[in-house]
Amino acid sequence: MKYAVLAPVAAGVTANPAWIGGYAEHADACGFESLVAVEHAVVASRYDSVYPYDSSGKMELADDLDIPDPLDLLAYLAGRTSRIGLATGVLVLPNHHPVVLAKRLATIDALSGGRLRITVGMGWMREEVEACGADFDTRGRRADEQIEVLRALWADTAPHGASHDGEFFSFRNAMSYPKPAQKDGVPLHVGGHSKAAPAARAASATACSPSASRATNCRR
């Protein structure tokens, strides 16, 4: 059994470089499998969306809590550690353009020596997803295509580059380097509570239900 530790975002310390750096170094020394970072690009101070993991329908985090960007946080912690895996739980996929995301993930994986693992989710807060410019109601289809784009840009497509023509994204002869250090690209897991998470997207990424793994927090 492998165990991960969740960066304690509720404590309001994950944007403190000395505290979170020391925490990561200690987790690394203790032999934990990975360190997991959560994401909310924005939190609406008033929202109608229903948080699906609490009977109150509201998440437990304060609206004005420090929630650092998970990829920037993991990049920083990669430089503070040497062995521990670096993971998200979850990265809200609709918040990100996949072409830019492919480069960011590949860069972290390359610089960390292949320690990155990404769990993605579709996002439950409509207000957040729409603030990031994505349509909430089509985020599932968009996510399926985003995963295709990530895989295409991580593949070895030299000398002509990758091309994609889909419903949401289109490009030709795109060269994206560096490639991830891991041979098959950055491992992708899908977290969520809907039937689509473990079923429809399993062909492109490993499915992960909220209780499926003690090494990944798949809920947030």
Measure the CA–CA gap between 211 and 214, rounded to whole angstroms: 7
Show Cβ contacts of residue 52 under 8 Å, excluding neighbours closer than 6 positions. 124, 193
Q: Which long-range contacts (CB under 8 A, 24 or more apart) does 172-177 make?
A: 174/99, 176/99, 176/102, 176/103, 176/106, 177/106
pLDDT band, very low/low/confident/very high, at 194 (cuts 50, 70, 90): low
Q: Provide mean pLDDT across the span 190-216.
A: 53
Asked if 121 and 90 touch (Cβ cutoff 8 Å), the reply is yes
Instruction: Check pLDDT > 90 for residue 186.
Output: yes
Segment 182-211 mean pLDDT: 67
Residue type, 91: L
Q: In angstroms, rounded to a whole number, what is the distance separating the alpha carbons of residues 86 and 89? A: 10
pTM value > 0.85: yes
Domains in the chain, start-ordered, CATH in brackets? 4-208 (3.20.20.30)
pLDDT at 201: 52
Cα–Cα distance, 130 to 94 (Å, whole number): 9
CB 97 within 8 A of CB 45: no
User: Could you give the 3-state DSSP secondary structure of residue 173?
Assistant: strand
Q: Tell me the pLDDT tens digit for each residue of 113-159.
A: 999 999 999 999 999 999 999 999 999 999 999 999 999 999 999 99
Averaged pLDDT score across all residues of the chain: 91
